[in-house]
Structure 1
């Protein structure tokens, strides 16, 4: 049985491997273990992933890899696992049903299961099925103890002890029924919001453009809703967003923009737009692509109460000195390993199954 330290070392080596692929530079580093076997193959998998899903641009894939490589070092992994009790370790088989909205979106669950000493049975989304199996092979190469503990399937799940499933609110209802007799974590749709108070700087709005536009706004950590003071002037917001104007050059994004704009105009909704982003007053949290919803607030205390009441629907709150556990502008897509999705500690769950 491989020890937790061996597993930490293996994931840290994976972090080193991924450090070769960043948005600024793709550069082969000769000292990386097993590069002669994996480097070119991974470039090929990235290319296939892009061809398979046009939301997975090269930039978005590299951003995701870069983010993972920064997380996967020994110091972060030690902190991540420090409260995990490995003395009473028993290996169970944990099924993970992954979403496919952004590249490697299910990696954190995959890491959590394996680093806990369990075996993993992965059912991937067809939108994101090319990168993780390849990285799993790399892990098996650097740590023999992972061999036989990682299975990918496209079949109906069977023969497992616990499940972590991520889906929409509709699929979550199905998951809750289907997996009711197994220990489970069922994740539903969540969105992220930003609270604007009027004290933001130009730099804050430029940073907020990352929270809105990274992964085309498809992540649960992507800001899809703004809360703004009554009578707010959106000029400063649009000025900050303008740094992302190139998004309209992506054909799929442009199609969604044109389609949603046409729907809004035909419905005679009031909206403001700048040629690549629309904002619309709406109480929902989940906005379509190329659109951010907004709602006015009169009173900060009432807004804090509302955000607390709706916490099951919200992944992150971006703000500046407004509310506890807020995320700084520009930081939603840089989660730490200890930022568990939906606030559910996966390692704690895995230690009890």
Structure 2
């Protein structure tokens, strides 16, 4: 199969996905095979929501909208242009996927197939409804993909390379188990924001999207703030207040109540507004409904600290602080070339 055929198939998949990126799915006549797949995917969305309480309709729609915008001819062409993707010898690449947010492993799935390899997917039990259905659509719009996509619930075996995502504990297991194979092994990372105190209310409001989208479960969610000494959180709390309906979601509310009780019983100092807590803490990983913060005095010393801790950090959100910073409100809208952990998966797949 030629590269252009693979690109064209994913463009059609993006057009199909785009029909479900709003509150009410809208069938478009220009989209192929809707008679076969449209109603079925609506059913899969409902199953995903029922099976995983974190997968709200709003968050699933957000994820689908992100992928619909990414899977265009222009975006795919721009992403792949720097690489020399010829008719390489196809290998079988295993992907061990996380399940913290909807379709979190789709970029790896796309990367393996777009480079001409076969994919063997082991899904997380938390996110197993959507991708297999989309894979079936892909096989219909491009029959040459048949035989290139396999899903398994068993231990992955008979593969040539692996991309695995998990916790810090599981990543150590992955490194041992896959030590004889070319691999990308990902573990826990968190995103941070550096504030100066000069941020506008609009910037802080945009930051709230980086904090609360997907309930803060993603590695691109901001889980920690660095703020200058004597920073006042009043404007911050005011700017994020429009997210207060999040407390109506049962799983989030349960975590908020539990973590608040732990902090109160432990007599930890923290600030809260009825749906969100902030606590001074040196860790990068904060619990759900909580964000840690740390004071800084010298920006250059903070940059040195962040450089030393870069293996723990996915994104840095700021305005004029860092050369590779992400604009407020954009962490959950990565481009195809924004690789997780800054590891170029296309380069890896072309080298195996």
Partner residue, 1:233: 232
Give the TM-score of the pair, scaled to structure 2.
0.99
Long gaps (5+) in structure 1: none
Q: Deviations over 1:170-217 (max 9, x none)?
A: 000000000000000000100000001011000001101100000000
Q: Which residue of 1 aligns with 2:350?
A: 351
- For residues 240 and 147 of structure 1, the distance between their equivalents in structure 2, rounded to whole angstroms, comes to 49
Query: What runs of 5+ residues in structure 2 fail to find an aligned partner?
Result: none
2:105 aligns with 106
SS of 1:151's equivalent? strand
Residue number in structure 2 paired with 1:96: 95
Structure 2 Cα separation of the partners of residues 88 and 183 of structure 1 = 20
Pairwise CA RMSD of aligned residues?
Answer: 0.7
- Give the CA deviation at 1:22: 1.8
1:9-45 deviation digits (Å, cap 9, x = unpaired): 0000011011111235421112210011011000000
Where does residue 279 of structure 2 map in the other structure? 280
Are 1:40 and 2:72 an aligned pair? Answer: no
Q: How many angstroms apart in 2 are the aligned matches of 1:83 and 1:121?
A: 26
The superposition leaves residues 107-139 of structure 1 with CA deviations (integer Å, 9 ceiling, x where unpaired) of 000000000000000000000000000000000
Deviations 1:199-249 (A, max 9, x none): 100000110110000000000000000000011100011011101000000
Give the secondary structure class of the aligned counterpart of 2:331.
coil
1:84 matched residue in structure 2:
83
Residue number in structure 2 paired with 1:135: 134
Distance 2:100 2:236 in 1: 26
Structure 2 equivalent of residue 196 of structure 1 = 195
Cα separation, 2, equivalents of 1:183 and 1:167:
17
Distance 1:306 1:196 in 2: 15
SS in 1 for 2:291: strand
Q: 1:88 offset after TM fit, Å? A: 4.9
CA positional deviation for 1:84: 2.5
1:147 alignment counterpart: 146
Would you identify which runs of 4 or more consecutive aligned residues in structure 1 move more than 6 Å? none
Q: Distance in 2 between matches of 1:23 and 1:55?
A: 18
Secondary structure in 1 matching 2:129:
coil
The alignment covers a number of residue pairs equal to 352
The C-alpha deviation readout for 1:66-99, integer Å capped at 9, x for no partner, is: 0000000001111111123222511000000000
The SS at the match of 1:50 is: helix
1:20 aligns with 2:9: no
Distance in 2 (alpha carbons) for counterparts of 1:131 and 1:88: 30
- Secondary structure of the residue aligned to 2:226 is strand
* Superposition pairs of residues 152-301 of structure 1, within 5 angstroms: 152-301=151-300
In the alignment, structure 1 residue 307 sits paired with structure 2 residue 306? yes
